Chains A and B, each alone.
Chain A
Amino acid sequence: MISLRASLSLRFLLSKGLLSLASLAIVTALGSGCEGETAETGDEQNVAETKGLFGDDRVADVLAKDLTKVPKNFQEFEKLFGVGRSCKRTDSKEIYVVEESTTRATGELEETDMLLPRAVITGCNTGEMNPEGEPLYQSYSLLTALFSSPDVPGAKKGDPMVFDRVEVMALDRVTGLYNFYVMTPSKDPKAPGILQRIQLRPDNTVFVYTKDPAKKTISKKKSTDRMCNNCHVKMGPLMNEMHEPWTNWVSTHKDLPETADGLTGETRSIVSEAVSIDGKHNRLSLANDLEKTMMAAMRVWNEGQLSIPGSGFVQATIDGDQPGDTKGMLSSLFCQNELQYASAFGTVPVELFVDPGAVAGGSFQPPSAYSIDLFPLLMPVRSEMDKRIETALLKKKIVKQNTAIAIRLVDEKNDIFSKARCDLYATAVEKLPADETKVDAHLRTFLSDKLDRLYGKTGARRDYVNGLLSDAADLKTKRAAYLAEMTTFYKADVAKLQTGEGRSQLKARSQARKDAARAMFDRDANPMPLIHDEE
């Protein structure tokens, strides 16, 4: 959801009679928020068992004791929760906008000739921190997404945003995971909205709790499709274009298009918070800031809060409260589970040339772009999610940093879509010790048994890997030698930007990644942005 790539479209849902089930992603562990759910045979729960409907989060704070407040639309939501246009900040309402002309109204991503903006609204940071002193806590603890559809009544008049569907991710204080909620109108316009909580279970099933004001009970049904799990692969927050230049997002680098002046109504009002369309205010909500919020969100979601041992996705997975296990998480070290998309602006992403994880410590800087032929555009690169899972495993000392680098060095030029590295994964985790303290040694033995094949018999890379896997005293020297060799390679490879033939080679690399990404997400509902082939 927060990827702004809703996994299912409005029309798609309507056609299946699933509008109320929506395109949301879902996450929560079976923590305190799910007490009383052990008997899962029936579809109905007693209304008193609201713990099934709520986690311990900002949504519960407001609604758990009074379901008559459930908002029917975004306008009610923002007033009730003090976010969006009701945020008390004077410099920013934290409404971040991405310019889109695509829709998933048929279930598949399609280009249109309309401006179909989407927005992420974060939780309004007025300075209050959590116990860990996280400065962005208020922003990332409540995330909301708005999308547009060409099929809503006002779309043709410039008001295409969908407001009667509020998609929310709220950070659970206990589990450290995001709880996913959807709020939609009920059939009775005078009644409160319908509230749904969508939850991924440890057995990898998706359940939907629904509280309809017309009914006394909360229904609980297993979802027959993956819903937002199609996009939110790990059920965490996503932002495809997370780093500069934040392609398509309103940022310091990108203003609204001139066609934004044709927006009307509530869509105009929302979009105009990213940057004023008519110059009547100076408030800004720039992707520059959203990047920091999403980075913090991803860190906290993965690692949990320091004050709550056992919280966060990685520990929940280890504990069996999320699908998968340690073995599954190790795939983030070898392969890719999600993707980020990098583009050239003043510089070209380093990933076009080397795996930054392999040359870590070398301060490799992105080379300057060839200005009259700017590329790549939205090239898939290693996701923050996979990197954060790796970091979490390092912090938990399940994997040592040297081992993680050795794994990257299997293919020093490709941070993702590396057959050489990813093909190792299945055998690397065979007979993985259940004792987490022995996982690192297992991986080192696995790599050490294949040194010649993986790293060659001699050379700086092989020496470096030898040093990494033995924690050699002269590791810094070996690293320096390797990085010096890679610097030479890097300079030569970067020089390709200066020739037509070289640029063709580099574009082919980017194109191969795009093709691989399409193959990776070869399904109608997927988290990919619309990516164009390299010219």
Chain B
Amino acid sequence: MTFVRSAAGTFSVGFFSMFAVALMGPGCESDETETGDEQNVVPTGSDTPFELAGLCQENIQRHITVRPQELTDGVVRWQCGDRPGVDGIDDRGQEYCEYFAVSNGKRVDNFADADPAKPLACFFTSVYLDVAPGTTRDAALATALGKKENLNAKVDKGLVRMKGQFNSRGAATTLVSDSVGVAKDKNDERQAACFLASIDPANKANAEKLKDACNGKDLSVTSAWTKATKLGAKIPKTTATNYEMYKDTVACMSVGRLASGGVDWRMSDPHITQVVVRANDECGCTYGALPESLEGFLQGTWSSKDQLPAGCRRAKVDGADYQQMTICEIPAAERSDLETSLDYSENLQAFCNERFGKDIVLTAPLRAVETKGSCSKTTSAFCKEFTKNAVK
């Protein structure tokens, strides 16, 4: 079975809804379906390359401070918690990470359903949907999770493994392999340049004109591009201050052209694509499939892959910290907050996202699947950083 990262459906809220989100959250959706690939409640994606450039620029800016560490370590990182509007009863998470509240070993969505005598925790799993054939691994992990040092209750094995088909090892491998060798696109390159010009404060007066000149237009056509350049759009030179942002944006936009698809409004897909495309295109890096030994992307924090947010702990499996399952116990004082919150008392998953999910950071260890010696080009500034610790 091939898993891919595409979304089944989206809805639009506006013509120019960059990284748009659903206006209403999913708190009142119907019963949970555990089968997995429905994505009825999702933010909107881009309709045009110009809009895609906007989504990408925002996503790059979202991770801008950790970019140097990512390049040096050869990893890609993003937050577990979804964008607003994604989490909900029908959707446990779409960023290679799923999460929900647990009480007495069971998922709870309403505070009223939590056992008042038992701890209430947020549980985060990044165990791939396709972690292993059959359910043996699920049973083992569920048994471990039920132990005293973890949830201290009988745990349904259905809670352990992620449910979204997009949250699979196969989908991640496909995303990476699709990003290797993806063809360049002149229109995308020019759309990125046009978008960046439109948000440049120095070009403020022409922002709307640039949008009109580029959005929905084919900028590979000389006349269209000429019109944009007269308004201030230009392909940055390597010495320009926005060169790296431009290159990152163009690479990220490849997510819209991947053979098996990628979802542009997510944080993981465009970010992984961005790094892999540049690593391959500029540095020559190639990548193999994610190994079966990797049961899911690793959970950590922005400052360290080895740490977790305060109040969270790794589940112990076979006596050792397991990096794909995290338990964040909700302290008594915050638990009583939930009673007085209409927003969270009937949507504990949203609480888990807000309280912990944004600070639990997934790490895709690209370097671990890098083809030995493939990162052979080191001339560009990007490659100088990225290949510093490449697999020789």
Contacts and interface: CB of A to CB of B under 8 A. Distances in A.
A299 B65 contact: no
A345 interface: yes
Interface stretch (B104-112, B148-156, B334-342, B376-384): B334-342
Contacts of B211: 372
B13 interface: yes
A292 B310 contact: yes
Contact of B303 (A253, A283, A487): A283
Interface residues of A, number: 65
Contact of B65 (A139, A275, A361): A275
B307 interface: yes
A218 B48 CA distance: 70
A292 B65 contact: no
Contacts, number: 176
Interface in A240-284: 244, 250-255, 275-276, 279, 282-284
A299 B303 contact: no
A279 B21 contact: no
A485 interface: no
Interface string A328-343: 0000000000000000
Given A368-B17, A491-B13, A401 B340 contact: yes
Given A346-B58, A365-B23, A252 B311 contact: no
A347 B17 CA distance: 10
B58 A363 contact: no
A330 to B, nearest CB: 16
Given A361-B346, A495-B14, A497-B14, A133 B332 contact: yes
A391 B337 contact: yes
A135 B310 contact: yes
A446 interface: no
Interface in B1-41: 13-28
Interface string B71-84: 01000000000011
B207 interface: yes
B336 A292 contact: no
Nearest to A392: B340
A132 interface: yes
Contact of A252 (B28, B65, B199): B65
Nearest to B343: A360
Contact of B331 (A134, A361, A363, A374): A134
B140 interface: no
Which of B22, B57, B66, B342 gathers the greatest number of chain A CB atoms within 10 Å?
B342
Contacts of B98: none
B165 interface: no
B340 A391 contact: yes
Given A125-B310, A252-B66, A361-B342, A300 B58 contact: no
B295 to A, nearest CB: 24
A135 B331 contact: yes
Which of B16, B72, B83, B339 gathers the greatest number of chain A CB atoms within 10 Å?
B16
Nearest to B358: A288
Contacts of B303: 91-92, 282-286, 289
A287 B346 CA distance: 29
A362 B17 contact: no
Interface residues of B, number: 67
B23 A299 contact: no
Contacts of A300: 333
Nearest to A367: B23
A286 B65 contact: yes
Contacts of B27: 361, 363
A367 B24 CA distance: 10
B84 A366 contact: yes
Which of B198, B207, B208, B331 gathers the greatest number of chain A CB atoms within 10 Å?
B331
Given A133-B332, A363-B26, A498 B61 contact: no
Interface string A130-158: 00111110010000000000000000000
A347 B84 CA distance: 9
Contact of B16 (A136, A279, A303, A370): A370
B198 A498 contact: no
B125 interface: no
B109 to A, nearest CB: 13
B24 A487 contact: yes
Contacts of A135: 310-312, 331
B66 A299 contact: no
A272 B92 CA distance: 37
Interface in A297-346: 299-300, 303, 306, 345-346
B18 A500 contact: no
Contacts of B341: 360
A394 B65 contact: no
Interface string A482-510: 00000100110011011010000000000
Contact of B309 (A284, A285, A292): A292
A288 B18 CA distance: 23
Contacts of B304: 90-92, 282
Which of A90, A282, A372 gathers the greatest number of chain B CB atoms within 10 Å?
A372
Interface in A364-382: 364-374
Contacts of B19: 346-347, 368-369
Contacts of B21: 347, 365-368
Contacts of A255: 64-65
B358 A371 contact: no
A368 B14 contact: yes
Which of B16, B18, B310, B343 gathers the greatest number of chain A CB atoms within 10 Å?
B310
Given A346-B58, A490-B23, A363 B15 contact: no
Interface of B: 13-28, 43-44, 54, 57-58, 61-66, 68-69, 72, 83-85, 195, 198-199, 207-208, 210-211, 301-304, 306-307, 309-312, 329, 331-334, 336-337, 339-343, 346-347, 350, 358-359
The 5 closest A-B pairs by CB, nearest first: A363-B25, A135-B311, A361-B342, A368-B20, A91-B304
Interface of A: 90-92, 125, 132-136, 139, 244, 250-255, 275-276, 279, 282-286, 288-289, 292, 299-300, 303, 306, 345-347, 356, 360-374, 391, 394-395, 401, 405, 480, 487, 490-491, 494-495, 497-498, 500
28 contacts: A133-B329, A134-B331, A252-B63, A253-B64, A289-B359, A292-B310, A306-B333, A346-B58, A346-B62, A361-B346, A363-B343, A363-B347, A365-B24, A366-B21, A368-B13, A371-B18, A371-B57, A371-B58, A372-B199, A372-B207, A372-B208, A373-B207, A374-B199, A391-B340, A405-B342, A491-B23, A497-B14, A500-B208
